[in-house]
Structure 1
């Protein structure tokens, strides 16, 4: 028997609501709840993939941030030089930067560098793909 859905309350600012509504329309979701559930499922799936990683792994880490935070990226990068096989940096729209790291090494260190970017409030986004 399927678990009954429960209603929860989530606070979003106006910008996030506009973005949510745009995504809902462009992706064809029938309502906000449906797109929020899809987003949560994706996030949970990605986190499960990362949990329990052990041994040597290869991964791609993609980070987006404002140009003014290049120094913070360099600081995090410096602590993980041994993991980084390739690093590409490019400036994109209006002073934002994208960083692509090809990582190879201990899974726990890959988790650690990813966490460093994810928890830095000055990073717009960080996405890890395990290869």
Structure 2
């Protein structure tokens, strides 16, 4: 992939950049993931989030199995050029593989992680194999 804007990103030694997905309108952070050069270029080209799955070692088109795609409205980079922020519209209202709106569904309260949002859809219904 070529393009000077991609060259301006400060990639990690393994060629990745951390990415935060934030719901447009509400500003709620719904997800954190990684992108490589190819996935960031594809995200920009197609208008939907494409991440790099470190566990599967392959491109991951968000929603390819669940249907919960992320339409990208804006791509921003931080001042150090080492973190990407996506402003997204979350299709289906579910970002997390657990069936919740956000992956950040637990809050530390008095030394214990407490769930702060409900499951909106059973993961078994989203991930039929």
Superposition TM-score, scaled by structure 2 size? 0.27
Determine which structure has more spread, i.e. the larger CA radius of gyration. 1
Q: Compare relative contact order (CA 8 Å, sep 6+) and give the higher one, 1 or 2.
A: 1
Please identify which structure carries the higher helix content: 1
Superposition TM-score, scaled by structure 1 size? 0.27
